[in-house]
Every structure is written in C-alpha cells, then in structure tokens.
Amino acid sequence: AALNRFIQAMPKAELHIHIEGSLEPELIFELARRNQVKLPYASVEDLRAAYAFTNLQSFLDIYYAGASVLLHEADFFDMAWAYFLRAKADNVVHAELFFDPQTHTDRGVPFAAVIDGLRRACDRARNELGIQAELILCFLRHLSEEAAFTTLQQARPHRDKFVGVGLDSSEVGHPPEKFQRVFAAARELGLRAVAHAGEEGPPQYIWDALDLLQVQRIDHGVQALRDPVLVQRLREQRIPLTVCPLSNIKLCVFGDLAQHNIGELLRQGLVATINSDDPAYFGGYMNQNFVETFDALQLGAAEAITLARNSFEASFATHADKARYA
Ligand code: HPA
Ligand code: ZN
C-alpha cells in the first residue's frame, strides 16, 4: 500500500496513449446521441461486453467502430479533455498523445476539426492542469504509402500543432519499409519520429524502424528480447521502449502480467517506460498499469523511480522541463 501511494504521487510522463483509445463507453454513447450516429450496440454494458480481445486486430475493429462517433472539433476536445483530467489524477505531468487522423478524414471529418480540437485541449491542460501536452500524428500502417503522404500533406498547414509522427494499426504484414519515404519527408519537416514495432511483429521490424524510419523511440518493442544483438543496440544507444503492460495482456501478447517481460527489460538496462496505450479498452490508466505490473512482478520503489526517470528521458520535453524531473 505504501508502494502504491508512492507510485501514485510520483510525477511521470505518458508517451504511449492513443487518444481515441481513451474514449470511454459512456462518452461514446453521449457523442452518438449528440451527433445522431447509430451504434451497433444497444447500451454501454453491451459495448463493454464486446471488449474481449484475442489479438491486436480483434481490438482494432472495435476501436475504429468506437471512433465513428467523433465528428466535430468539440468532440475531439471533449475526448482529450476527459483524458487530461484522468491523467492529472495519476500525476502525469507530461503527455504525448497519438492521434489517427485517417480514421476520421476517411469518414469525411476535416483534418482541421481533429487537430484543432485536440490542440485546444492540450493548451488548456497546460494552462489549467500544469500538464505539458504534445501531439504525435500516427499513420495507419494497414493503409497505403500514398494515403500516408496525403495525410502528411493535409497536416502541413498545422505543422506547429504537433511534434512528431508515428506508425500504428495492424503490424504484421505492414513492415516499416512500407513507410520509409513518408517518414523521410516528415523528418525533413523537422518532425520527430516514433513507430510501433515488436508488439506482435518480429525483432526485424524493430531494426527496420530504427534503420529505415530513423525513429527516436520504439512503441511496445517487447519482442526485442528474442534478439540479443538488438537488445545490445537498444541499451548502448539508449533507445526508449514505450511498454504498455495491460494492453499486452488484453491483446494476448503475454498470458498474464506475471509473465510480462518489463522487469527483464529493466534488468537488461533498457530505457523502458510504462504507458496505458488505450486505457478505455484495456482496463486502466497509468497508475493502474504501474500498480498491477508491480504487484505481479514484485517490483519496488527502485524500479518505479527508474521508470519515471526513463519516461522523462524518453520524452520530447524541452531540456528545461526534463531537468525539472531528472
Ligand atoms: N498497436 C497498434 N495500433 C494501435 C494500438 C496498438 O497497441 N492501439 C491503437 N492503435
Ligand atoms: Zn499503441
């Protein structure tokens, strides 16, 4: 209980949160009513009952259905603001939010409605909650390279509203090399780069995210331990992994938390962090991820401090903000 209080009180950065994955069933139904969108679920309970996943794809199908209620700038603001209130309660002081513009623009929602609603919530979080908040635009890897280029083009007039690009959605069969050119174009714009790799996919996808996409962090990356040479590189170059323990259990990447490898990643000297991924779907926000993982793996205060320090080191915060939490 003392450890749980310590974890709760510890300032931390969240670096792997899909803002569409923070959409709670209650808000999905509220927005469906507000926007007159018909949902294939009768009630909040009915929707929640569908949250039984066997792998990444089985989750993504429901996650994209949930996002269908988001139509207007105010909807994106309300979703992100609800997340920031929840993050504040967990003492998250810095957050980098992934968003998936293609999920919305493909339904006819203007790119500006998406990014302006999210950015307004970020600015308000900074002013009213003291949370430094940034946005990372993710390309959907199951869609084409051409579609990713179109999205980057749509984003160009909004260059000052987000700090980087990422790569998410269905990993296996959509390797990093598919997006090598679009990531090069994004880096030319001065954007940071991250990518999901080694969640379900092989260690080679982590190598390729580093070498072909030149990413600064790997999202998930838990499959890295299958490749000792890769582990050595991640350690020596201090390449962060944004690990999401409850997500990995819900998507059956590990059988249960006691089998999760985050303790081993830390023992091997990797810059691992704990994050919530899609908290409305996976059963917990930041502190829930910490507390359940620490309990299952019998980790202690030393690991909590390392994880919090890692989260600031791995962040795209300014040097001044990083120094405050070092
Ligand atoms: N992996 C890939 N795509 C995603 C995820 C994830 O964990 N969450 C939301 N989109
Ligand atoms: Zn993710």
Region at 173 (left for phi over 0; alpha for psi -120 to 50; beta for the rest):
left
Share of the chain above pLDDT 90, in %: 97
> Which pLDDT tens digit goes with each residue over 262-276?
999 999 999 999 999
Q: What is the pLDDT confidence band of residue 321, given thresholds at 50, 70 and 90?
A: confident
Collapsing DSSP to helix, strand or coil, 307 comes out as helix
Rounded to 10°, the helix 301-314/286-297 angle is: 140
> CA–CA separation, 8 vs 10, rounded Å?
6
What type of residue sits at position 267? R
Task: Tell me the whole-structure pTM to 2 decimals.
Answer: 0.98
Whole-number Å distance, alpha carbon 195 to ligand 2 midpoint, is 9
Q: What is the pLDDT of residue 131?
A: 98
Average pLDDT over residues 232-237: 98
Active site includes 188?
Answer: no
Q: What is the pLDDT of residue 233?
A: 98
CB-based contact 170:56 (threshold 8 Å)? yes
Q: In terms of Cα–Cα distance, which of 237, 201, 249, 250 is closest to 221? A: 201
Calculate the alpha carbon distances from 97 to 56, 134, 230 in Å.
20, 6, 27
Give the residue, out of 51, 53, 56, 281, with the most ligand 1 atoms within 8 A of its beta carbon, to mutate for a pocket test: 56
| Range list of H helices, 106-189 | 111-124, 145-155, 180-188
**Based on the structure, what is the number of domains in the chain?**
1
Share of the chain above pLDDT 70, in %: 100
* Ligand 1 touching residue 200 (CB < 6 A): no
Q: What is the pLDDT confidence band of residue 291, given thresholds at 50, 70 and 90?
A: very high
Average pLDDT over residues 12-21: 98
Largest CA distance in the chain: 53
Whole-number Å distance, alpha carbon 110 to ligand 2 midpoint, is 23
pLDDT at 164 over 90: yes
Instruction: Report the chain's mean pLDDT, rounded to a whole number.
Output: 98
Angle among Cα 168, 169, 174 to the nearest 5 degrees reads 90
Atom 9 (ligand 1) nearest CA: 18
* Ligand 1 touching residue 196 (CB < 6 A): yes
For residue 247, the ligand 1 atom closest to its alpha carbon is 7
Long-range contacts of 263-268 (CB under 8 A, 24+ apart): 263/297, 263/299, 263/303, 264/225, 265/222, 265/224, 265/225, 265/241, 266/303, 266/306, 266/307, 268/225, 268/231, 268/235
Calculate the alpha carbon distances from 147 to 177, 213, 253, 283 in Å.
15, 17, 29, 32
* Ligand 1 touching residue 100 (CB < 6 A): no
Q: In terms of Cα–Cα distance, which of 150, 195, 151, 149 is closest to 174? A: 195
> CA–CA separation, 221 vs 205, rounded Å?
9
Rounded to 10°, the helix 145-155/111-124 angle is: 60
> Which pLDDT tens digit goes with each residue over 21-36?
999 999 999 999 999 9
Q: What is the pLDDT of residue 325?
A: 87
Enter the DSSP assignment of 38.
P
Average pLDDT over residues 140-151: 98
Sheet containing strand 241-243, edge to edge, reads 12-18, 92-99, 132-140, 164-168, 192-197, 217-220, 241-243, 272-274
Whole-number Å distance, alpha carbon 72 to ligand 1 midpoint, is 23
Q: What is the pLDDT of residue 188?
A: 98
Give the structural domain span for 206. 2-325
Q: Which ligand sits closest to the CA of 199?
A: 1
CA of residue 166 relative to chain centroid, distance: 9
Rounded to 10°, the helix 180-188/145-155 angle is: 10
> CA–CA separation, 17 vs 97, rounded Å?
6
Atom 2 (ligand 1) nearest CA: 169
Q: What is the pLDDT of residue 241?
A: 99
Whole-number Å distance, alpha carbon 2 to ligand 2 midpoint, is 30
Q: What is the pLDDT confidence band of residue 217, given thresholds at 50, 70 and 90?
A: very high
CATH code of the domain covering residue 263: 3.20.20.140
Average pLDDT over residues 141-149: 98
